């Protein structure tokens, strides 16, 4: 593959996915590389119901990865928080661009801060991680499932179905909706998802030409941070949908990683934080995971899985 031939970029067709792919295409275009966007509908785009009950892992990525392996596209742009940590033989994460805002955003039309929500207020989130951390802070809240793209969720809020919703800061900013953010939730309040706010540019491992074209988009500090986060999640065997939060960041040439695991109602919580040189990112992720596991993280994750399976079975009976 050469720059004159152009690249075929596989992308989901949601507004946010298209924004992300358009951004990558523009970055490559500035470097003289023509890019054609190839829309791909994933299973996550068509299923309904909570993600954990419909297969969860890889719902938004597997079909695009298969298109890569089949040679239908030359590269894919993923939201790293949606990309499973298991390696896919034949594929490689060729670049991780600079991370956008990685915080969770509280959005409400009536209540200016999370602490101001009245008892019993209805809060929408599709994330078990957000749900459990929110319940730990505010067990009095009525937290309900919400699905759909960013615009759909905002419309449900505006229609009065919810008193507040939780979304990723990065998605709102990228879609030009930063003004809708009522409050950015600090990591001390809610640790973000593994890879939240970061993009992953994936291609075939043997496609050296494309890997070279993507190399300038790689950001060393962001890659170190998400490598640590993803290794932590992999070692926990938590999966993308587990109640696991992480925050990796580089400051003064030191990589730090915080990790948290909670049970379903948020009342049981284990936390760990360690630091290392950025080049030791994977080892740092492993160390934080081992600390969490020593505190009982595996039992918390297992209890959530069992509860989810039992609830799904009851709803299906």
Q: Which residues are catalytic?
A: 82
Q: Which two tokens stand for residue 93?
A: 């994460």
CA 2 remoteness from chain centre = 31
Q: Which two tokens stand for residue 78?
A: 């993923």
Q: What is the DSSP letter of 141?
A: S
**CA distances to 13, 115, 118, 119, 187 from 180, in Å:** 23, 18, 20, 23, 20
Beta pairing class for 75-79 and 183-185: unpaired
Which is it for the CA torsion 145, 149, 152, 157, positive or negative? positive
Residue 186 buriedness (CB in 10 A; 0-12 / 13-18 / 19+): exposed
Q: How far apart are CA 167 and CA 192, in angstroms?
A: 11
Helices (H), 184-280: 208-214, 220-236
Residue 299 buriedness (CB in 10 A; 0-12 / 13-18 / 19+): middle
Beta pairing class for 199-204 and 75-79: antiparallel
- Of 201, 199, 177, which is closest to residue 7 (Cα–Cα)? 201
Q: How far apart are CA 203 and CA 210, in angstroms?
A: 7
């Amino acid at each position: 593959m050469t720059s004159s031939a152009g690249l075929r970029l596989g992308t989901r067709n949601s507004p946010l996915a298209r924004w992300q792919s358009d951004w990558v295409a523009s970055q490559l275009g500035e470097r003289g590389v023509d890019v054609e966007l190839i829309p791909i509908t994933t299973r996550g785009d068509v299923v309904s119901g909570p993600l954990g009950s419909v297969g969860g892992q890889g719902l938004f990525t597997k079909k695009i990865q298969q298109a890569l392996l089949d040679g239908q596209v030359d590269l894919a742009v993923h939201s790293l928080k949606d990309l499973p940590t298991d390696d896919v033989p034949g594929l490689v994460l060729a670049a991780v661009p600079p991370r956008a805002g990685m915080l969770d955003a509280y959005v409400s039309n009536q209540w200016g801060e999370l602490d101001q929500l009245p008892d019993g207020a209805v809060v929408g989130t599709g994330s078990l991680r957000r749900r459990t951390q929110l319940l730990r802070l505010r067990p009095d809240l009525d937290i309900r499932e919400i699905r759909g793209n960013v615009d759909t969720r905002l419309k449900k809020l505006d229609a009065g179905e919810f008193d507040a919703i939780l979304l990723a800061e990065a998605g709102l900013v990228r879609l030009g909706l930063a003004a809708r953010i009522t409050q950015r939730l600090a990591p001390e309040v809610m640790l973000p998802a593994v890879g939240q706010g970061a993009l992953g540019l994936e291609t075939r491992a043997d496609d050296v030409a494309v890997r070279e074209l993507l190399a300038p988009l790689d950001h060393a500090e962001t890659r170190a941070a998400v490598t640590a986060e993803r290794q932590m999640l992999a070692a926990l065997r938590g999966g993308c949908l587990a109640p696991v939060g992480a925050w990796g960041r580089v400051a003064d040439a030191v990589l730090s990683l915080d990790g948290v695991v909670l049970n379903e109602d948020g009342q049981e919580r284990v936390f760990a934080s360690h630091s290392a040189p950025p080049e030791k990112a994977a080892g740092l992720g492993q160390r934080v995971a081992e600390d969490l596991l020593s505190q009982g993280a595996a039992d918390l994750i297992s209890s959530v899985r069992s509860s989810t399976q039992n609830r799904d079975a009851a709803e299906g009976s």
